[in-house]
Amino acid sequence: MAGFVQGIFFAPEGGARMKSVQAASALKSCGLEGDRYCAGTGHWSRFGRVCEVTFIAAEDLDDIERETGVGVKKGEHRRNVVTKGISLKALRRGDRFRVGEVAFEYRGPRSVCRHIERLTEPGMTQALKGRGGICASVIENGTVRVGDEIEVDPVSATIVSEQDKGTASLQ
C-alpha cells in the first residue's frame, strides 16, 4: 500500500491562515516545526487534545469540492499533509508508516469542529464530517517533502522505538 504527499500546510499559530510549503521538518513529540500544534498554540491544544501531525486524502478533498462546492484545495481543510493514492481509512490505531525519511504512528481519526468553519467558510464542518483525515505522532525525526512516497507495511515491521522495546520486554 503506497501513496505520496501531494501538499504540505501549516499555520504558525492558532487561527492563522494555512501556508503551503514544499518541505517541513517533523519533530518527535512535537509535530511539524513552525506549525501551531508544535508550538502549542493550536485550537485543540487548549483542550489537551494534541494532534502532532494531521493527514487528509486528496481524493476526499476532490469529492468534497465536487459534492458541496466548499473550497478545500488551498489549505482550508486545516490539515498538515495532503496524501494521494493511499487509503488513510485503512489504517488502524498504532499502525506505523513512513513518509519519505519520517516515521509516524497513526493515533486516530481527526475530528472536525465548528472552529474550522469560523476560520474558513459556512459548510466546512459538514463538508469534512467523516472525511476529516487522521492524527499521527512523529516517531522518527526528519523532513517531509511534497512528492515523498508513503509506505505503510514495512514501517510497522521494522521500526521499534527504544521505548517500545522496553515495554515489550515487560510484557
Q: Tens-of-pLDDT digits for all 171 residues of the chain?
A: 579 999 999 988 888 888 999 999 999 989 999 998 888 776 554 455 568 999 999 998 888 888 888 777 788 778 899 999 999 989 999 999 999 999 999 998 887 766 666 666 676 767 777 878 899 999 999 999 999 999 986 545 344 333 444 443 333
Cα distances (angstroms) measured from residue 9 to each of 19, 22, 105 = 5, 9, 19
What is the architecture of the domain spanning 2-170? Answer: Beta Barrel (2.40)
**pLDDT for the residue numbered 71:** 76
Asked whether the beta carbons of 100 and 145 are under 8 A apart, the reply is: yes
What pLDDT shows up at residue 155? 44
45/42 Cα distance (integer angstroms): 5
pLDDT at position 168 is: 39
- State residue 165's pLDDT score: 45
- For the entire predicted model, the pTM comes to 0.81
**With helix as H, strand as E and coil as C, how does the chain read?**
CEEEEEEEEECCCCCCCCEEECEEEEECCCEECCCHHHHCCCHHHHHCCCCCEEEEEHHHHHHHHHHHCCCCCCCCCCCCEEEECCCHHHCCCCCEEEECCEEEEEEEECCCCCHHHHHCCCCHHHHHCCCCCEEEEEEECEEEECCCEEECHHHHHHCCCHHHHHHHHHC
pLDDT of residue 83: 96
Place of cell 486524502: 57
Q: How far apart are CA 70 and CA 53, in angstroms?
A: 23
Identify the pLDDT of residue 166.
Answer: 44
Residues belonging to the chain:
171
